[in-house]
């Protein structure tokens, strides 16, 4: 069976490749757990100085596999739900993603296509993000059914631009992301591989102990700003968004009409019903 994440080491670099291209590298529990294992494997390998994370196929990652989670309801509990059970599951996923940030060795995300929803959580957990200019990044579930559990938008963008992204659920292209300081660099799509290789090669020439000390010092500054506490709140809120009246409506609509139709409603700008009425039909979505 093909691994959901590929792993290769060469020239002091470990290459991790999200490998569910038929699902735009959508995240499952299996993907999150294996990501942690492979980051730890790279950290234990003295031959590795830097880790590069990419996605196979047309995108870096389109987020959680919501065809599974929304249509089948795997992330929605019954009306009397246990928030701590939900927190435990999502905290584990967040910690798995954040092994990229906590890794003693530097991590680089190479983003093409899309890094959206949970895929943006994964990309922004890396130390450095290099995007294709035409790639898109954003957290659309901020409109309904989600809160970014890694909380990295505010730490990378500051309060106002983080609010601009999370109060709308909009996406931005790589060029804008670089201009705003969300990512370190944006290049034409055809130059993405070369740009990432040049950066990774530059880092790979530094001793591992030097790399680790620089990372620990910078990350400590973020911890002093309350990163862990912010993630705790964001992860609890993520569970609440999926069990609010609007969140339950979204999941029920996705289960009945499919996740693409639910996304069309979410992104259309139409108000999300409060869950007290009937579930609309796809025909209702097409009405003015």
Q: Are both 170 and 264 inside the same structural domain?
A: no
Q: Are both 45 and 122 inside the same structural domain?
A: yes
Domains held by the chain: number: 2
Distances (CA, A) of 219 to 122, 150, 222: 17, 14, 5
pLDDT the model gives residue 286? 65
Domain assignment of residue 29, given as a range? 5-241
Q: Are both 84 and 48 inside the same structural domain?
A: yes
Instruction: Measure the CA–CA gap between 47 and 49, rounded to whole angstroms.
Output: 7
In this structure, what token pair is assigned to residue 88? 């435990």
**CATH code, 218:** 3.90.226.10
Q: Are both 97 and 223 inside the same structural domain?
A: yes
Q: Are both 234 and 252 inside the same structural domain?
A: no
pLDDT band at 288 (very low <50, low <70, confident <90, very high): very low
- Residue 129 phi/psi, 5-degree rounding, is -125, 125
pLDDT, tens digit (0-9, with 9 covering 90-100), for 75-90 = 666 777 898 999 999 9
Q: Are both 200 and 278 inside the same structural domain?
A: no
pLDDT, tens digit (0-9, with 9 covering 90-100), for 22-65 = 999 999 999 999 999 999 999 999 999 999 999 999 999 999 98
Q: Are both 78 and 30 inside the same structural domain?
A: yes
pLDDT, tens digit (0-9, with 9 covering 90-100), for 257-272 = 888 898 899 998 888 8
């Amino acid at each position: 069976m093909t691994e959901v994440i590929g792993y290769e080491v060469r020239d002091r670099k470990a290459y991790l490749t999200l490998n569910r291209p038929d699902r735009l590298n959508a995240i499952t529990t299996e993907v999150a757990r294996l990501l942690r294992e492979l980051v730890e494997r790279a950290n234990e390998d003295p031959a590795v100085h830097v880790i590069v994370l990419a996605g196979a196929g047309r995108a870096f990652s389109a987020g959680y596999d919501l065809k599974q989670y929304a249509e089948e309801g795997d992330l929605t509990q019954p009306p009397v739900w246990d928030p701590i059970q939900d927190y435990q599951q999502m905290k584990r996923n967040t910690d798995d993603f954040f092994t990229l940030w906590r890794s003693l060795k530097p991590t680089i995300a190479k983003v093409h296509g899309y890094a959206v929803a949970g895929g943006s959580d994964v990309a922004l957990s890396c130390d450095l993000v290099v995007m294709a200019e035409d790639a898109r990044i954003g957290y659309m579930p901020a409109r309904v059914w989600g809160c970014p559990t890694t909380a990295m938008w505010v730490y990378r963008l500051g309060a106002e631009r983080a609010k601009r992204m999370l109060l709308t659920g909009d996406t931005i292209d790589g060029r804008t992301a670089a201009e705003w300081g969300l990512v370190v660099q944006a290049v034409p799509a055809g130059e993405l591989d070369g740009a990432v290789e040049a950066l990774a090669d530059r880092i790979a020439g530094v001793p591992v102990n030097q790399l680790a000390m620089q990372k620990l010092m910078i990350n400590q500054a973020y911890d002093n700003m309350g990163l862990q506490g912010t993630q705790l709140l964001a992860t609890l809120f993520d569970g609440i968004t999926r069990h609010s009246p609007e969140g339950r409506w979204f999941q029920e609509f996705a289960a009945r009409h499919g996740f693409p139709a639910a996304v069309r409603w979410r992104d259309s700008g139409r108000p999300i019903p409060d869950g007290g009425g009937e579930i609309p039909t796809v025909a209702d979505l097409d009405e003015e």
